[in-house]
Structure 1
Amino acid sequence: MLVDAGFLSIIPPIVAIVLALLTKEVVFALLAGVFSGTIIYSALAGLGPFGVLSTTVTIMIDKVGSNADMILFLCFLGVLVILITKAGGARAYGEWASSKLKNRKSVLFATALLGIFFSIDDYFHCLAVGTIMRPVTDRSKISREKLAYQIDAIGAPLCVIMPISSWAASVISYFPEDGSVSGMQTFIQAIPLNLYAMLSIFMVLFLSFKKKSEFGPMLVADKLAAKGIFSSPEGDVTEDDLSSFEKENQNGRVCDLVIPIVVLIVSCVLCMLYVGGLFSGEGLSIMEAFGNTVAATALALGAFCSLVFTFIYYLCRRVLTFKELFGGISQGVCTMVPACIILTFAWTIASVCRDYLGTGEFVAHVVATSGIPVIILAPIIFIIAALLSFATGTAWGTFGILIPIIISICSVAAPSMTITCLSATLAGSVFGDHCSPISDTTILSSTGSQCNHLKHVGTQIPYAVIVAVCCAIGYVVAGVTNGLGQAASTGIALVVAIVILTVILLIAPKVWKYTPEQQEIINSVED
């Protein structure tokens, strides 16, 4: 199956990313990237013209089949969102939150706190936080681009430093089985030096509390939202279009949103433990069960359980009729169709790059044979991991490619740099995943916030790049101070990176204002 494509292996992700940015049509861009990859593979494997179509369809079938649990989870969650809206739960919560959260600062901080609460899994986080907070942020005239950024910047960065999360289980699974490196112990030691995760969370909280903190494309989105213009997957919508949920059941209460969501959380956590074997009688610990679980399967099962509960609960509460409940199924599934299409193509191009062309192996070989000096090993690894994750759209795939290589390199060349280099690998992978328009978590963040996907990517990248620059500087400092010991090196690098980021965040709003084109867009909207 795998062919040695060499430098040609990086063409599909480049095609997808460039076309996405140029055409603003992410489905077309992904499909073009898939076809460019299967054309290269078919040519090298001697399959002929029909091999291009055959390979493309085969991969899509395989990816849809292997990710059916994730698609089911999305559909179940879409149905749950529709039912909550129909029952009046979203309306009631919006009214309650508007009375309690009096300003932009409190709404953004509440969104961040909710994101921390949902940090057990990034998919779950992206969709659940968006579902709950979108009516509130819309009413507060906070742009959906800002909501999507907060969801994305809290989601994966927090998951990758949480010992009890699907991400931790994934990372630990890539560690060698020979006992040379202790998975969980090393993971915990690497948390403070995972600079991208730490700084992303710091930046979200900083921007939440500071007034007039937006800059660049996000500032334009912020100004448009203040004038009642919001981004949506179908195009910009006005403030009047957002009031549709007010026409729903007026008898709905806050409990009609909170109880189904709480049941969803509890169900998903219990199902993750169940799928992981906690209740199998084998004596597994909670940590071992999280390590063994299949997150997407558990989330689909948990969402289905919560959906069954919600049907019964709403019938007992008499906020929805039997006909309305089952009518919400098709509506809910339809809301998730665009996300499922994009995810299918994103999974397909990731498979083409990883399983057919060896994009990861090519990049990893370049890293391993480059003769990088030890003192700058961590920042170089951070950059390579970011590029690989950005190109393939998957942080988890990047973990699997680079972690074994980094451990091997450090065990021979720089044992004292193992923790630092592993931290850089995780940080770079999350940064690349955070910025990539073909990343599933980036797609789900825009889906959860009901924001136009490419607008989310365009407004988020400047913020993410600023954090990444501070991270790279921090890893240089970590390399220079490595001789002082791991604890001292980590502390110095983290403090330096945070100080630099704080200075930039204070200066950027004053110097990064509108371009003439952006000013025209804002002026074209009547107050």
Structure 2
Amino acid sequence: MARSALSSLIKSRRQSLLATFALGVVVFIDDYLNCLAVSTSVKKLTDVYNVSREKLAYIVDSTAAPMCIIVPISTWAVYFAGLLEENGVAGDGIGLYISAIPYMAYAWFALLIVFLVAYGILGDWGPMKKAEARAKAGNPVPEAFVEEQLVSNIQAKRKLSFKANIMNFAFPMILLIVSTVYFEIDLLRGALLTCFITVVVYWIQGILSFETQVEAITPYMTIVIFPAVIFAVMAFLTFATSSSWGIYVLAMPIVFPISLALGVSTPLMIGALLSASSFGSHACFFSDSSLLAAQGAGCSPMQHAFTQFPYAMLGAGLSVVTFLGLGYMMA
């Protein structure tokens, strides 16, 4: 139904891209719903105008998580507002969340960049340029892509995860739960104890030297650079783990006491954390939203990841500069 309605309205390649962007903006309740519903609705239409499936996946993915964190009635907003209340940052989590929306730099930049790409103002770079050249030649679907690739990629990811040192990953998580319960559900004390013991364990195993770990967690921070540093660190961790929600259960009890001690604006810190979460969900090639965007658009996760990564990094770079500027102005 949506596809036939769009077909009667869309008359050019640019309009098909802008329509995809507009649908992504409208479907803001949940990023999973966004990735699947939008790509399914417009895929055949964009094929008509020789839009590469990689560009379709990029536009869909770039409006999913960014829109969900900006709109305060999405699943992301409800979840993070609850975390703010549980960590004692605010009595009214949604109210504080709304005050932080202007500071969610990455989400705003991601939406701006994808609009400029869809409109044709910002050109195609790197792998995206090659994908678009192939599509304009009449092949919007990647030659090497088959639907089974998505299943095999997910299976390969699971096999790889079991080959990793699972104990070094699981131990801190188990310890956090046990220590938090021991301290009568005090997550801050549990997280501090977990960090201390994990540093010692990694030092004994020779994974990281004691000096390296202490230097990594010792705050040589100022009110000016702290929001930018937190965004960069949490963006990297979210990208590396694809945990755009779970890792913030651990981060908030550590970040907010430090930011309060430094005198950093709480809405600004929320903006930095949510920006990092949005970046990780968007840029990580094995995150749930990236996999769904690739599946819905009809390309492999790696094809999607490589073509969108330059645009995600542009948004991240602009966000770091923005957080440095905001830190300076609000110091």
- Normalised by the shorter chain, which TM-score bucket? 0.7 to 0.9
Q: What is the SS of the residue equivalent to 1:219?
A: helix
Aligned-pair CA distance for 1:337? 4.8
Aligned-pair CA distance for 1:338? 5.3
Counterparts in 2 of 1:347 and 1:160: CA distance versus 1, 3 Å: farther
The counterpart of 2:290, out of the listed 439, 442, 447, is 442
Query: What's the TM-score, normalizing by structure 2?
Result: 0.79
The aligned counterpart of 1:459 is 307
Aligned-pair CA distance for 1:167? 0.8
Q: What is the SS of the residue equivalent to 1:153?
A: helix
Q: Distance in 2 between matches of 1:463 and 1:153?
A: 9
Aligned-pair CA distance for 1:216? 2.2
The aligned counterpart of 2:188 is none
The counterpart of 1:224, out of the listed 121, 134, 144, is 134
Counterparts in 2 of 1:367 and 1:460: CA distance versus 1, 3 Å: same
Counterparts in 2 of 1:459 and 1:372: CA distance versus 1, 3 Å: same
**Which deviates further from its counterpart, 160-169 or 148-157?**
160-169
The aligned counterpart of 2:278 is 430
Q: Is the 8 A contact 2:39 2:60 kept in 1?
A: yes
Runs (4+) of structure 1 exceeding 4 A deviation are 334-355, 359-368
Any idea what the Cα deviations from partners look like across 1:219-245, whole Å, max 9, x if unmatched?
Answer: 11111100122345x8258xxxxxxxx
The counterpart of 2:236, out of the listed 387, 400, 422, is 387
The aligned counterpart of 1:356 is 170
Counterparts in 2 of 1:399 and 1:454: CA distance versus 1, 3 Å: same
1:142 matches 2:142: no
Amino acid at match of 1:154: T
Q: Where does 1:106-255 land on structure 2 (aligned, <5 Å)?
A: 106-177=15-86, 179-181=88-90, 182-210=92-120, 213-232=123-142, 235-236=144-145
Q: Is the 8 A contact 2:150 2:300 kept in 1?
A: no
Q: What is the SS of the residue equivalent to 1:230?
A: coil
Identity of aligned residues (%): 32
Counterparts in 2 of 1:348 and 1:131: CA distance versus 1, 3 Å: farther
Q: Is the 8 A contact 1:343 1:440 kept in 2?
A: no
Q: Distance in 2 between matches of 1:228 and 1:475?
A: 42
Q: Distance in 1 between matches of 2:117 and 2:172?
A: 40
Q: Distance in 1 between matches of 2:136 and 2:64?
A: 26
Q: What is the SS of the residue equivalent to 2:125?
A: coil
Counterparts in 2 of 1:431 and 1:211: CA distance versus 1, 3 Å: closer
Q: What is the SS of the residue equivalent to 1:141?
A: coil
Q: Distance in 1 between matches of 2:150 and 2:312?
A: 27
Q: What is the SS of the residue equivalent to 2:246?
A: helix
1:372 matches 2:215: no
Aligned-pair CA distance for 1:417? 2.4
Q: Is the 8 A contact 2:116 2:122 kept in 1?
A: no
Q: Is the 8 A contact 1:406 1:422 kept in 2?
A: no
Aligned-pair CA distance for 1:335? 10
Segments of structure 1 that go 5 or more residues without pairing to the other structure are 1-88, 238-331, 484-527
Counterparts in 2 of 1:445 and 1:366: CA distance versus 1, 3 Å: farther
Counterparts in 2 of 1:369 and 1:462: CA distance versus 1, 3 Å: same
Counterparts in 2 of 1:344 and 1:131: CA distance versus 1, 3 Å: farther
Q: Is the 8 A contact 2:286 2:301 kept in 1?
A: no
The aligned counterpart of 1:520 is none
Q: Is the 8 A contact 2:222 2:262 kept in 1?
A: no
Segments of structure 2 that go 5 or more residues without pairing to the other structure are 174-190, 200-212
Q: What is the SS of the residue equivalent to 1:395?
A: coil
Query: What's the TM-score, normalizing by structure 1?
Result: 0.51
Any idea what the Cα deviations from partners look like across 1:166-186, whole Å, max 9, x if unmatched?
Answer: 111221222253744231122
Aligned-pair CA distance for 1:218? 1.0
Q: Where does 1:284-363 land on structure 2 (aligned, <5 Å)?
A: 337=151, 341=155, 352=166, 356-358=170-172
Q: Distance in 2 between matches of 1:375 and 1:152?
A: 31
Q: Distance in 1 between matches of 2:159 and 2:7?
A: 39
Q: Distance in 1 between matches of 2:328 and 2:103?
A: 14
Larger-Rg structure: 1
Aligned-pair CA distance for 1:164? 0.9
Q: Is the 8 A contact 1:218 1:459 kept in 2?
A: yes
Q: Where does 1:42-121 land on structure 2 (aligned, <5 Å)?
A: 93=3, 97-121=6-30
Amino acid at match of 2:69: V
Q: Is the 8 A contact 2:31 2:289 kept in 1?
A: yes
Any idea what the Cα deviations from partners look like across 1:357-396, whole Å, max 9, x if unmatched?
Answer: 4389569987652322221001100110111101101211
Amino acid at match of 1:223: A
